[in-house]
Amino acid sequence: MKNANATKKTKSRAKGQQPYFFDDPNTDRLLTMVMMLASELSVLRERLDTNERLSEEKSIYSASDIENFEVTDSVASERERWRDRFLSRLLSTINERYDREA
């Protein structure tokens, strides 16, 4: 029998103060943001590469199909929601600082 708590997703946070690596904490925040972007970009690149290879292998669609894809309102809306969540995560280090100071 599975533990009911094992399937729950929880955000874990380190206790205590956030460690600083540079003299200016803002530099640390910027580095955190850059590393989050690098992580997202790396995952996205791998998924895109896999998608392109599979589509070519199975003759599903071509690079020109991707270039000529027309975005519907529904797709644009979904992309905007994803972008909002992503930017919220990316900017969380800045928001947390101001939330603590408020």
Contact 98, 34 (CB under 8 A): no
The pTM of this model reads: 0.56
Local confidence band at 58 (pLDDT 50, 70, 90 cut-offs): very high
Instruction: For residue range 60-87, list pLDDT tens digits in order.
Output: 998 889 899 999 999 999 999 999 998 9
Domain ranges of the chain: 23-101
